[in-house]
Structure 1
Amino acid sequence: MNINTLIKLTLVFTLMVILMGAYTRLSDAGLGCPDWPGCYGQIIVPSDSDEISQAQNQFPERKLEQDKAWLEMIHRYIAGALGLMVLAILIMCLRNKEAPKKLPMFISALIIFQAALGMWTVTMKLMPIVVMSHLIGGFSLFSLMLLLYLRNKKIRIPGGDSYARQFAPLAMAGLLVLVVQIMLGGWTSSNYAALSCTTLPICEGDWLGNLQFAKAFSPFQGDHPSFEFGVLDYPARMTIHVSHRIWGIVTAIVLLMLAIKLVKSHSSIMRNSAYVLLLLLTVQIGLGISNIVMHLPLGIAVSHNGGAALLLLNMVFINYVILRKA
């Protein structure tokens, strides 16, 4: 297997980890295994009566729920496989004189840090700042793997696209705006604030008078036995939700402007990227609205996470290609 094929496979696995992480979190299975890296002290979820009895004696504070435990362990298995693939890519890059060196080394360091965040997610009982950091780390890994693929593949627009290049500042602004929106989404999810507003286009009641930004966005929320299901009161959670929703409108406007500009590009690469951006943006807006109207169905909520990841990948691609010439 050559390095480009392995990188593409790693991109698929990274998306799987992101989706499985979202599915696990949204299924309230983030503490399905109360220890790390095993599950109730074992490599697989305890199944027979003796193992279950021993597990409950070892962790009496948490009842073993096998379905949730398996979700957590499958997530860890896929993440472990991803770590091995990243290590293989690093070795191949170090052995290839023409391949990038610094970027795969940074990616390897990031995935080690991601493993630590995965451990802290469990040991710190779903502390929101840790959960959000773990999510952002996954999205960052996804973006950097694409960047490594593009650099190794040496994708360029022959001669550049002078028309598209004039929108480089807008493309960078769009990427930054999207990153902020993804962070707000992670903060919304980790604080269980997705259903704090259930009406459109704005929240129900006196939402404007109940905004509490300082409390809503404080990274430290005190000492609690567990942060599962959230510890913030309604006004704080509502503030988080409103911020995510309003910034989502800002994000949609900026990305829509960029897409409309780029569909007139000279190169087919940029035009196709603009059409993909329009498609992903439309789908993502629809998923976001569906989450509110249908009260966060699991499949749509997970798809919303996946849509954000693909939007980010598309924006990284646009920014990379728009700034490079053959």
Structure 2
Amino acid sequence: MHDEVERRLRWLTRITLMGTLLTALVILVGAWTRLVDAGLGCPDWPGCYGRLLVPDSEHAALRHPDVPLDPFKAWVEMAHRYVASFLGLVVISAVVLGWQLRRRPGYPWRISLALLVVILIQGAFGAFTVTLKLWPQVVTLHLLGGLSVLMLFFWLHLRIRHSWKDRVVGCRSINALWIIGLSLLVLQLALGGWVTSNYAGIACLGFPTCNGQWWPTMDLSEGFHLTQTVGPNYLHGQLHADARTAIQVVHRLGALLLGVALLVLWWRYRQLKNVGRALAAAICVYALQVALGIANVLLWLPLWLALLHTAGAVALTLSVGWAWWCWRQESDSISTERQFLPTTAI
């Protein structure tokens, strides 16, 4: 029985690591799909003009005469769907393999179920992205969903590796500093999604000023109007220039706040060896991500650089998640040590 448990844990460790890497790939392929304007390369879902493979122009014209076939964009969109579908199979495999371990102390069965639920929601958002014609709210939530899958896979991998030691990870209440830091990270990722879904990446020319001004003309109410009409084709966006400028400026301010929060976290926990190193690594990734964002503005958003910026968001998410994991582990170690210290020493 012990050998069977060990075998399953070994396979789950591999599968969850593969799932983490595959999720990062899916996010990057999704970004590439958007950047080459292939998000509506197939006007229907889950097939492409009613087929599981991209059909010829004649069939496409019969199926959707109002949407001419662009073979390149259609294949890019279908490639994204194929990779995402394979990711779904990896999630199901992790849940099936973990079923017999669900009552084992320390096994993160609830995280496995959460991962399954989120991947199913992601599939629905993938469909809505096409049927609602790139509605910014759906595109942004789709990106956040992908990053949620990434973190759930990563956390599941860490927890399963931890369970090999037959230890139960304590459920500690998170403190205010981490709440602020993680909340700002999520907010910044959402702002990044809002920038890209509204095509506001180069709404500001120049850096650190925006269009030659420190505080340019902006339309915040329109830029962050979350009840936009469903129905128009949002390819290339529908917002006017001042609204897009507002989105870009708020995204820059969010990056500044996130940087301050990471520095505060590092300063607070720098004396904890593993946590300090992990937060220092996260700050380095953050600095690189800021540099990529600035370069995208100055170089007018070249495809390869925009993809690197998305990869930077993935790396930043993982690095902050790793720092949080190290902090939880450090807290567990400190608590364990204190249990064996004399009362006078505490």
**Percent of paired sites with the same residue:** 36
Confirm or deny that 1:2 pairs with 2:11: yes
Shift of 1:222: 2.0
| Aligned residue number for residue 278 of structure 1 | 283
> Residues 210-289 of structure 1 correspond to what in structure 2 (within 5 A)?
210-265=217-272, 267=273, 269-289=274-294
**Matched-pair contact (CA < 8 Å) for 1:291–1:300:** yes
**Matched-pair contact (CA < 8 Å) for 1:171–1:315:** no
**Rg larger in structure:** 2
**Matched-pair contact (CA < 8 Å) for 1:172–1:319:** no
Confirm or deny that 1:139 pairs with 2:144: no
The residue identity in structure 1 corresponding to 2:19 is T
Is 286-295 or 311-320 further displaced after alignment?
311-320
Q: Which runs of 5+ in 1 are unaligned?
A: 157-164
**Matched-pair contact (CA < 8 Å) for 2:278–2:326:** no
The residue identity in structure 1 corresponding to 2:160 is N
| Aligned residue number for residue 79 of structure 2 | 74
Deviations 1:80-102 (A, max 9, x none): 00000000101111112422221
1:57 partner SS: helix
Confirm or deny that 1:101 pairs with 2:109: yes
1:300 partner SS: helix
CA distance in 1, matches of 2:11, 2:247: 45
2:108 partner SS: coil
Q: Which runs of 5+ in 2 are unaligned?
A: 1-9, 165-171, 334-346
Give 1:29's match in structure 2, choosing from 29, 38, 47.
38
Shift of 1:279: 2.3
CA distance in 1, matches of 2:137, 2:143: 10
1:61 partner SS: coil
Shift of 1:24: 0.6
TM-score (norm 2): 0.85
Give 2:122's match in structure 1, choosing from 114, 122, 146.
114
Shift of 1:155: 7.9
| Aligned residue number for residue 161 of structure 1 | none
| Aligned residue number for residue 11 of structure 1 | 20
Is 216-225 or 128-137 further displaced after alignment?
216-225
CA distance in 2, matches of 1:298, 1:262: 38
Is 273-282 or 206-215 further displaced after alignment?
206-215
**How many residues end up aligned between the 2 structures?**
311
CA distance in 1, matches of 2:144, 2:209: 27
